[in-house]
Structures are given as structure tokens and as C-alpha cells.
Amino acid sequence: MSLSISQLAQARQGIISEAMQQVATIESRDPKFIRAGVAKGTIVIPANIRHENLVPMGIGRFLKTKINANIGTSSLSSCLTRELQKLQAAVQYGADTVMDLSTGEDLENTRRQIIAHATVPIGTVPIYELACQGGNDAEIDFSRENILSVIRSQAEQGVDYMTIHAGIRPDQIPAAAKRKLRIVSRGGALIARYMSQNHCDNPFYDCFDDILEICAKYDVTLSLGDGMRPGCLADASDEAQFAELAELGRLGSRCREAGVQVMIEGPGHIPLHEIEMNMKKEQELCDDAPFYILGPVVMDCAPGYDHITSAIGAALGAWHGAAMLCYVTPMEHIGLPEEDDVRAGVIAYKIAAHAADIAKGIPHAREQDDAISEARANFDWDKQFELALDPDMAKSMRQKSLKAQNQPETQQGGRFCTMCGPKLCSMRVSKDL
């Protein structure tokens, strides 16, 4: 296969692919705008040629803010049925992409089934499979042959984008060692240990050109992982983080030169007042490649509520230029999320993304809000539920409130909310004006 099959190569040749046309329709944009963004590298369309039932979508800061949901088995919990249920819940409630972070049993079949059932792009982190090959994580086979074998196998299965931790380098480790939490990225920590023990460079960096060749063949988008992301506010925006970000910018240039689409992954824990600076710094160092951020979490002392603490940061990050938000669930820092946690995380991040899109003036972003406001003015409860981000939740909460107050839905024709009641509903009273 030649490089001409990649979305990036086609865009540079002036071709508007079928995927670009579909993205333009979804985004209410001119197809030429999408093609130009893909050609420049400010928009990516993760679309492996082997992912047959994929509905293409675009990621870029001038498009609707996208969100990703992480799912996957672990060594303590390995059930394909549950993962497929999580996939269904994530997509149902609005996830634009899903990452399979499985580290449990039968990784290949788990990934195959997830891809087969997914109409959204699927991402992976190949180092997780490397780490699961042996019984001891201290004896990972980081040989060029093994790295490329795993990446090639995942590409052939249809993985649309892969997180590759190629930007963490030996000279960043001393700065990370000074941190409160050092390295919180699993991939980053494993690579840092390997480099330190073997007095060598990053094995993913060493074979990066070979990785690009595989990605170009199958049109796999690279998501350059932030192995040095801060894991607490005390470590935010430090020397290690920005040294790696500069390296990711250089690797991103190599991706585009090879005809490979690329995103840059961003920080985890950042205080509110540093978020804008972080977003602008990525645009500067990485040629405005789409920024894919985890959160960021804006405070460290709310375990169990990190879908909220991170959604606050995510909204601000998206407003200042992040293109895709990786959701955080209530189980962050605590345990493996279940289906209800996936739902809570996705909804929290849909709220963050939607709020940012309204602020950025994304075409048609506010239409749903204006429509639901009209339905509220008309006391059209069915229409309100239909337009809600989570219709089932909104409907069940109203029914719960009516039941608790012993109020029939038909009283006053349903023209009241249960907070004000039928006599003191401000909207009903003010309608007489």
C-alpha cells in the first residue's frame, strides 16, 4: 500500500476524501475547510482502513470539541461482556472516541471485539500489551522487533489511533525525580525505568521511523503520549513536562513529513490559572496539532468527584484550544470504572465540551440550548427530556420529585416545576405579562 491512502496524503494532493466530506457534513463546514485543516495538520480524522464500520469524525480546535472514554479490562477484572457494555454506554451518552486500555486476559480478542462493535474511532496504548506479554513487568521485551510486531498487529486489527510514548527522553528523568509524584503515566514510568536501568534512549524513539511506516500504511493516527504529565498540582507546568512537550513537537513534525496524522496528548493535573498558558504553549511548540488533554484535574482533594474537578478544567482547556478531552470518571484515583461510572464521566465531559463550544462560537453549538429553553417556556416536558444530554436522568428525576411531593403530572396541565410548585411558578406567572 502506498502513502496515498492516508487522509493526510490525500489532503496534501488536494483530494477531498469521502471521510473529509462526511466530517464536513457533521461539522457544518465547507469540505475545503476540512481538507485544508487535514493538510496543515490542525485537523485529524482517525480512520484505519481496516475499521470497516467506522463513522469518520474530525478532531481539531476549530471543530466541535470531542471527548474520549477509556474502557478496558485489568489483571483483576477481565470480562469482555462488561467491556462491550461500557463501550455501548460510552457511545450512547456521547463519547466521540473510545480507548481500549485493557491489561487483562486475551487482549487480542478483546480488542477485536471492541473494534467490531464500534462505529467510533478506537484507540490503544501499545506499551500496555508489551507489559502484559510476560508475567513480570520488570522484564518487558522492548526490542525493536517486539515493539513493531505489537504495533503492526494492532494496526492490522483496525485500531484508529495509538498512544506512543516516544517523547520521554533520558535527560528529562532528573527533573521528574524531584517531583512530589514523579511519573504517574504507566507508559512513561515503564520506559523511564528501562532507560535508567539500561543506560539507553527510549526504545520507541529509536524505532520511531519504523512506527511511522506502519501507521502510514494503515492510516493510523499517532497520539503522542505525555509520559511526563503532572499527577498533582505541585508538579504542574514544570521542567520535565515542558521538555517532553518540546520533544513531542519535534516528533509531530516527523509524523507529518511521513504522511501520518498526529495529535499531542496533554497534562493531567493543572491549576485553573495555568490552563490557558498550557494550551497556548502546545500550539506554539507543536505547530497547532490537535491537543488531546486528560482533564485537566484542577484540584487534588476530591477523590470520588474527579469527573467534576476535571470537567471544570476540561471546559477551560477546550475554550483555550484543546481539541479533544479524555474523560475522567468518579473512580479516577480509586479503582476500575463500571458502566455507571462511564456514564457519569461521559456526561460530565459532554457538558464541558458543549460549554466550550458555545463560548468559541462553533456553528450551531447553541441551537440545542435555545430549543430546550423554548420547550421550558412552553412547559413541554417531553421536548425538554428529548433535548437533554441525558434524557433518562432528567425524566427520572422529575418523576421522583413529583412522587415525593404527591403532585400529579396533570395538575395545572404540568405547567410548573416541582421547585416552585403549581401556584408560584415564575414562568407561568410571567407569561401573563
Query: Which of 360, 382, 413 marks a domain boundary?
Result: 360
Would you call 171 helix, strand, or coil by DSSP?
helix
Considering only CA atoms, which of 89, 86, 141 is closest in space to residue 100? 86
- Cβ neighbours around 329 below 10 Å, total: 24
Interatomic CA distance for residues 122 and 151, integer angstroms:
14
Amino acid at site 261 = Q
- In terms of Cβ atoms closer than 10 Å to its own Cβ (0-12, 13-18, 19+), residue 53 is exposed
User: Do 274 and 392 share a domain, yes or no?
Assistant: no
- The total number of structural domains in the chain stands at 2
Domain extent for 71: 3-360
User: Do 14 and 86 share a domain, yes or no?
Assistant: yes
User: Do 168 and 303 share a domain, yes or no?
Assistant: yes
Would you call 231 helix, strand, or coil by DSSP?
coil
User: Do 331 and 391 share a domain, yes or no?
Assistant: no
Interatomic CA distance for residues 286 and 288, integer angstroms:
5
Q: What DSSP assignment string belongs to 401-423?
A: HHHHTT--TTGGGG-S-TTTTTT
User: Do 255 and 383 share a domain, yes or no?
Assistant: no
Q: Cell 490525500 maps to which residue? A: 10
Query: Which of 319, 345, 360 marks a domain boundary?
Result: 360
Interatomic CA distance for residues 10 and 16, integer angstroms:
7
Interatomic CA distance for residues 24 and 20, integer angstroms:
6
Does residue 249 contact residue 286 with C-beta atoms inside 8 Å? yes
User: Do 85 and 146 share a domain, yes or no?
Assistant: yes
Does residue 270 contact residue 236 with C-beta atoms inside 8 Å? yes
User: Do 261 and 300 share a domain, yes or no?
Assistant: yes
Considering only CA atoms, which of 81, 158, 170, 147 is closest in space to residue 123? 158
Interatomic CA distance for residues 307 and 354, integer angstroms:
15
Q: What angle do CA 268, 230, 144 make, to 5 degrees?
A: 95
Query: Which of 360, 378, 412 marks a domain boundary?
Result: 360
User: Do 312 and 385 share a domain, yes or no?
Assistant: no
* C-alpha distance from residue 107 to each of 157, 227, 388 (Å): 12, 23, 36
User: Do 318 and 420 share a domain, yes or no?
Assistant: no
Virtual torsion, Cα 195, 198, 204, 205, nearest 10 deg:
70
Whichever domain contains 74, its CATH number is 3.20.20.540
Amino acid at site 341 = D
Interatomic CA distance for residues 153 and 43, integer angstroms:
26
Amino acid at site 54 = L
Does residue 367 contact residue 416 with C-beta atoms inside 8 Å? no
Helix axes 31-40, 18-27, angle to 10 degrees: 120
User: Do 402 and 335 share a domain, yes or no?
Assistant: no
Would you call 119 helix, strand, or coil by DSSP?
coil
Amino acid at site 75 = S
Interatomic CA distance for residues 145 and 51, integer angstroms:
25
Interatomic CA distance for residues 286 and 295, integer angstroms:
19
Interatomic CA distance for residues 168 and 247, integer angstroms:
8
User: Do 324 and 378 share a domain, yes or no?
Assistant: no
Instruction: Spell out, as residue ranges, where the chain has pLDDT lower than 70.
Output: 1-4, 78, 135-136, 407-419, 421-422
Considering only CA atoms, which of 340, 344, 368, 334 is closest in space to residue 354? 368
Before 296, cis peptide (omega within 30)?
yes
The pLDDT of residue 407: 66
User: Do 26 and 111 share a domain, yes or no?
Assistant: yes
Identify how many contiguous H helices and E strands the chain contains and give both numbers. 19, 8
Would you call 265 helix, strand, or coil by DSSP?
strand
Would you call 66 helix, strand, or coil by DSSP?
strand
